[in-house]
C-alpha cells in the first residue's frame, strides 16, 4: 500500500526521504493557488525563480514577470501573487517567471531530489488526488509555510489530501491534520480567516484572494514541474 507523509516546513525537508516519491508543494496563500489558477486559465509555463533580480532578467526573453515580497507586488513587475489576475484567459499562451516569499522557494527545494513534483491547492484537490491514485509513487506533501515556520493552511491541505487518498501513514503531522480537516469540514473559510497569513493578507485588502484560494475543486487540473517549468498535465 502507498503512503503519504507531511513536511510542515521547507526547513525540515532534509529530514525526509524524497527518492522515488511524488512531492506535492502547497502554498495555499497564495503561490500554489495562483500557479494552479494561471495554468488552468491558459498560461503556458510558469518558471519558479528564487530572487527578484533573476526573475526580472526573464523580461528580456519576452516572458511576463510576477514578483511578490511581503504580500505586495514587487516594483517593476507585470504581476504580483494574486490568482485573480489570471482569470478570463487574458494571459493565455504566455510564459511567466515568478518569485514569491515562500512558495517558489519550496518548489526549488523539492525539485532537487523528488521523482516528481506536483503543485497542490484546494482549487485542484481531487484532480491531484485522482492522479496520485493512479501513480505507483509514495507521496510527501511539502508545506511552504511562512519564512521557515509552520502555517495552518498548508498543513490543513495535507490533511484534506490524505483523507481524499485514504492511504496508510505513520506521520503525526498527517494524522493531526486529517483530524483537524474532519473537524473544520465545510467551515474551511471561516476557520482559515483566523490564520496568521489570512490576517496578513487582510491587512493588504486581499480578502477576495483569501476567499478565492479556499474554493475547493474549482479546477480539474494537475500541475507538474517539467524541465521547462510548471505545466498542466494533459
Ligand atoms: O503573497 C503571499 O501571499 C505570500 C506573501 S507573505 O508570506 O505574506 O509575505 O507569499 P507566498 O510565497 O505565496 O507565501
Ligand atoms: Mg504562503
Count of CB atoms situated within 10 Å of the CB of 222 = 21
Q: Which 8-state DSSP code applies to residue 80?
A: -
Close Cβ partners of 8 (under 8 Å, ≥ 6 residues apart)? 143, 145, 150, 154, 155, 173
Residue from 9, 27, 29 whose mutation best tests the ligand 1 pocket (most atoms within 8 A of CB):
29
Q: What pLDDT is stored for residue 141 in this prediction?
A: 98
Show the low-confidence residues of the chain (pLDDT under 70). none
Q: Would you kindly state where each structural domain of the chain is located, as residue ranges?
A: 4-223
Could you report the per-residue pLDDT of 65-118, keeping only the tens digit for each? 999 998 999 999 999 999 999 998 889 999 999 999 999 999 999 988 799 999
Dist. CA 129–CA 124, nearest whole Å: 9
ipTM surpassing 0.90, yes or no? yes
For 112-156, the DSSP string reads TT-SEEEEE-GGGHHHHHHHHHTS-SEEEEEE-TBTTB--HHHHH
Ligand 2 center from residue 73 Cα (angstroms):
14
Q: What pLDDT is stored for residue 173 in this prediction?
A: 98
> Are the beta carbons of 24 and 110 closer than 8 angstroms?
no
- Which residue, 22, 1, 14, 27, is CA-closest to 143? 27
Give the CB-side neighbour count of residue 166, counting CA atoms within 13 A: 3
Q: What pLDDT is stored for residue 202 in this prediction?
A: 87
Q: Whose CA is nearest to atom 4 of ligand 1?
A: 71
Ligand 2 center from residue 87 Cα (angstroms):
20
Q: Which atom of ligand 1 is nearest to the CA of 206?
A: 3
Ligand 1 center from residue 222 Cα (angstroms):
22
- Give the cell for residue 86: 489570471
Assign 22 to helix, strand or coil: strand
| CATH top-level class of 4-223 | alpha beta
Ligand 1 center from residue 187 Cα (angstroms):
23
Q: What pLDDT is stored for residue 111 in this prediction?
A: 86
Q: What pLDDT is stored for residue 156 in this prediction?
A: 98
Q: What pLDDT is stored for residue 188 in this prediction?
A: 94
The H-or-E segment that residue 63 falls in is none
Amino acid at each position: 500500500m502507498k503512503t503519504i507523509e507531511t513536511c510542515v516546513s521547507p526547513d525540515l525537508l532534509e529530514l525526509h526521504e524524497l527518492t522515488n516519491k511524488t512531492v506535492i508543494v502547497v502554498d495555499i496563500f497564495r503561490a500554489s493557488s495562483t500557479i494552479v489558477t494561471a495554468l488552468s486559465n491558459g498560461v503556458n509555463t510558469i518558471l519558479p525563480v528564487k530572487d527578484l533580480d533573476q526573475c526580472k532578467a526573464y523580461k528580456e526573453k519576452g516572458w511576463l514577470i510576477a514578483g511578490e515580497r511581503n504580500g505586495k507586488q514587487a516594483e517593476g513587475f507585470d504581476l504580483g501573487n494574486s490568482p485573480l489576475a489570471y482569470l478570463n484567459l487574458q494571459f493565455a499562451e504566455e510564459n511567466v517567471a515568478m518569485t514569491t516569499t515562500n512558495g517558489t522557494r519550496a518548489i526549488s527545494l523539492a525539485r532537487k531530489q523528488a521523482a516528481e513534483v506536483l503543485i497542490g491547492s484546494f482549487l485542484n484537490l481531487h484532480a491531484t488526488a485522482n492522479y496520485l491514485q493512479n501513480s505507483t509513487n509514495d507521496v510527501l506533501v511539502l508545506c511552504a509555510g511562512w519564512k521557515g515556520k509552520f502555517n495552518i493552511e498548508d498543513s490543513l491541505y495535507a490533511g484534506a489530501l490524505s483523507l481524499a487518498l485514504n492511504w496508510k501513514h505513520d506521520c503525526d503531522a498527517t494524522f493531526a491534520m486529517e483530524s483537524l480537516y474532519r473537524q473544520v469540514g465545510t467551515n474551511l473559510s471561516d476557520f482559515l480567516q483566523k490564520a496568521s497569513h489570512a490576517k496578513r493578507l487582510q491587512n493588504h485588502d486581499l480578502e477576495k484572494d483569501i476567499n478565492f484560494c479556499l474554493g475547493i475543486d474549482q479546477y480539474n487540473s494537475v500541475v507538474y514541474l517539467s524541465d521547462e517549468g510548471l505545466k498542466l498535465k494533459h
